[in-house]
């Protein structure tokens, strides 16, 4: 089975051809310009490669309602050129194959659930902490939808007393997760990008507390069997033990399950697929599109 | 089909015999004393009534993991006499019929989804705001489980600047929803029970802002197609328009779906089944137990 996969990000588009077991046969990356410039490049990548279907994990918000006339579109994104772009149908029409479609983070979550750190879990949360913060959710083995889809970056957090910028930097929301803890928020708060802050900089303790608040909140709402934290900011390995410790402090013994009563080393983890979670998930979406 | 239903609450136990369409044929309420005193009373209620199965919606936390040796038990509840009570198996053994089991709020959510205000929705959140605060979640038409189950009362909120008690009153968590917005929290903050505060008391505006924070948070995490707010505190009808308005303010235009872009009169609603949501849901759990 030869499948096409697209991880459609706001900065770059990763295309791949691969197999249902996650093997990548070839891959190419394109900058995200406008739909008029970029979509033809992506379609040319897949054309002639005999893919049986294409799976797309896209930046959003996206329309995942199968009954909607705009199903498969990017909707109200702040990337204005991409607003209301019917991305799934553009590929279906151009390539003549079925197209699977979901959010980029639901795709990554699906990849991790089937082939990564979440193998054996029927539910999990995948969070990317980078330019933005997004969450993908697997429940009963499938990506979760609802009225829309998870927009985890915009949960409101309790400000930490030692935060010099407790309102954060989101243009929509005072004190939301993305505004407080994304890569750009780190840079705005401390005047330098995260990668230029030493591992002992107080930035990381504060960052860990905000991410731990998020973990505690999703444990009492979505109740995932595993929390997988990926994205550029999570390359700072020193964050993981801090996040586990603070999550435990926030929960304060209220939730008593084997997953969270210990040190949570197997509960709050990094992606098993590393930076390939998204493109692997897109392959799995392609496979499902053939059903 | 004659079905048994038990809404097992921390204060009272509501038993009913009814039909799969939600019709209640007879009902009786018992105070929640100890398992030794109360369970035999409940079992006597059902004995001889020819129920084909029993559905139980129980206060929790409970064990919903079908693979667990303690499936169907109340686990780490602060009501110490009920800790580790295998409630589902007690009924199954005594009555010799299948037993369906879930949280009280998942039961109520299920009742509302199939026979109440959530008809036509494949996903919804039911919240009870009373002695405690709990949330039940329906996704893809079924009660949501995961590592454990929703414990919505314990999400952390951002304190409101005019709150005289911004840490709230939860013994586990500073600033969680239940500690800030339950009936007992209202009484502790204002020195009188909510029912003795006039509808123009500032308590209600603050209460609405906390419940709106919760609504905004679940919209960006669980993304339900409807939010149903029940329980004693929600008998204060003046809360609904305030909650809708503040939820909109917190979201600030970030989520653009037909459900939330208008006045949300059909999105944040009271239970269609009123105070019968829980017992009706338990009937539906009984029906599912026969499958």
CATH code of residue A38? 3.30.420.40
Q: Per residue in B13-26, pLDDT tens?
A: 999 999 999 999 99
> Out of A175, A221, A260, whose CB is closest to B218?
A221
Q: What's residue A125's pLDDT? A: 98
What is the spatial distance between Cα A137 and Cα A124, in angstroms, rounded to a whole number?
6
In this structure, the answer to whether residues B82 and B208 fall within a common structural domain is no
In this structure, the answer to whether residues B186 and B255 fall within a common structural domain is yes
* pLDDT in single tens digits along all 291 residues of chain A: 999 999 999 899 999 999 999 999 999 999 999 999 999 999 999 999 999 999 999 998 999 999 999 999 999 888 899 999 999 999 999 999 999 999 999 999 999 999 999 999 999 999 999 999 999 999 999 999 999 999 999 999 999 999 999 999 999 999 999 999 999 999 999 999 999 999 999 999 999 999 999 999 999 999 999 999 999 999 999 999 999 999 999 999 999 899 999 999 999 999 999 999 999 999 999 999 999
Containing structural domain, residue B101: 3-106+275-289
> Out of B158, B221, B250, whose CB is closest to A158?
B158
User: A228 at the B interface (CB within 8 A)?
Assistant: no
In this structure, the answer to whether residues B155 and B172 fall within a common structural domain is yes
A156 to B216: CB separation less than 8 angstroms, yes or no: yes
In this structure, the answer to whether residues B241 and B128 fall within a common structural domain is yes
Domain assignment present for A111: no
Q: What's residue A105's pLDDT? A: 97
What is the spatial distance between Cα A283 and Cα A20, in angstroms, rounded to a whole number?
7
Going by the DSSP 8-state scheme, the letter that residue B80 receives in this structure is G
Q: What's residue B281's pLDDT? A: 98
In this structure, the answer to whether residues A8 and A139 fall within a common structural domain is no
Tokens of B217: 């948070």
Q: What's residue A266's pLDDT? A: 98
* Mutation site, B83, B152, B220, interface A, largest A CB count within 10 A: B220
Question: Position of tokens 């893919």?
Answer: A51
Q: What's residue A77's pLDDT? A: 84
In this structure, the answer to whether residues B98 and B198 fall within a common structural domain is no
Q: Per residue in B221-258, pLDDT tens?
A: 999 999 999 999 999 999 999 999 999 999 999 998 99
What is the spatial distance between Cα B230 and Cα B183, in angstroms, rounded to a whole number?
12
Number of domains observed in the structure of chain A: 2
Q: What's residue A78's pLDDT? A: 80
Domain assignment present for B55: yes
A:235-254 residues touching chain B, CB 8 A cutoff: 250-254
Q: Which of A41, A29, A221 is nearest to B125 (CA)?
A: A221
In this structure, the answer to whether residues B255 and B130 fall within a common structural domain is yes
Q: What's residue B151's pLDDT? A: 95
Q: What's residue A60's pLDDT? A: 86
Other Cβ atoms less than 10 A from the Cβ of A86: the count is 17
Sign of CA dihedral A116, A117, A119, A124: negative
Q: What's residue A179's pLDDT? A: 97
Integer-rounded Cα radius of gyration of chain B: 19
Domain assignment present for A113: no
* Mutation site, A60, A103, A142, A146, interface B, largest B CB count within 10 A: A146
Domain assignment present for B84: yes
What is the spatial distance between Cα A213 and Cα A106, in angstroms, rounded to a whole number?
21
Residue B143 has pLDDT above 90, yes or no: yes
Domain assignment present for B114: no
* Band (B77; pLDDT cuts 50, 70, 90): confident
Other Cβ atoms less than 10 A from the Cβ of B199: the count is 10
Helices (H) and strands (E) counted in chain B, each on its own, are 9, 10
In this structure, the answer to whether residues B157 and B243 fall within a common structural domain is yes
What is the spatial distance between Cα A215 and Cα A246, in angstroms, rounded to a whole number?
9
Q: What's residue B115's pLDDT? A: 97
Reported ipTM: 0.95
Domain assignment present for A124: yes
> Out of B61, B123, B151, whose CB is closest to A146?
B123
In this structure, the answer to whether residues A280 and A254 fall within a common structural domain is no
Q: What's residue B15's pLDDT? A: 98
A:1-60 residues touching chain B, CB 8 A cutoff: none
Residues of A in contact with B158 (CB under 8 A): 156-159, 175
Determine the residue of chain B that is closest to A138 in CA distance.
B146
In this structure, the answer to whether residues B202 and B74 fall within a common structural domain is no
Residue B5 has pLDDT above 90, yes or no: yes
In this structure, the answer to whether residues B251 and B284 fall within a common structural domain is no
In this structure, the answer to whether residues A127 and A208 fall within a common structural domain is yes
Q: What's residue A79's pLDDT? A: 87
Domain assignment present for A115: no
Element (H, E) at B56: strand B54-58
Domain assignment present for B89: yes
């Amino acid at each position: 089975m030869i499948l096409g996969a697209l991880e459609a990000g706001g900065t770059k588009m990763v295309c791949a051809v691969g197999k249902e077991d996650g093997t990548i046969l070839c891959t190419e990356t394109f900058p995200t310009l406008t739909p008029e410039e970029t979509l033809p490049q992506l379609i040319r990548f897949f054309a002639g490669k005999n893919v049986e279907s294409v799976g797309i994990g896209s930046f959003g918000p996206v329309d995942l309602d199968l009954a909607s006339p705009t199903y498969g579109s990017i909707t109200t994104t702040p990337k204005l050129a991409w607003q209301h772009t019917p991305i799934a149908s553009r590929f279906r029409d151009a390539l003549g194959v079925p197209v699977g479609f979901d959010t980029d983070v639901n795709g990554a979550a699906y990849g991790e659930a089937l082939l990564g750190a979440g193998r054996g879990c029927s539910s999990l949360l995948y969070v990317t902490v980078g330019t933005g913060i997004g969450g993908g959710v697997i429940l009963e083995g499938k990506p979760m939808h609802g009225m829309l889809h998870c927009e985890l970056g915009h949960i409101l957090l309790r400000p930490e007393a030692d935060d010099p910028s407790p309102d954060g930097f989101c243009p929509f929301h005072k004190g939301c997760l993305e505004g407080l803890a994304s890569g750009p928020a780190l840079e705005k708060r401390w005047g330098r990008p995260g990668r230029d802050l030493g591992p002992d900089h107080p930035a990381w303790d504060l960052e860990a507390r905000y991410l731990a608040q998020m973990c505690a909140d999703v444990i009492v709402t979505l109740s995932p069997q595993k929390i997988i934290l990926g994205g550029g900011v999570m390359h700072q390995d020193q964050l993981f033990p801090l996040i586990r410790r603070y999550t435990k402090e926030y929960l304060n013994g209220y939730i008593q399950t084997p997953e969270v009563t210990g040190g949570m080393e197997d509960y709050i983890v990094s992606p098993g697929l590393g930076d390939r979670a998204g493109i692997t998930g897109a392959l799995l979406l392609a496979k499902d599109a053939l059903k």
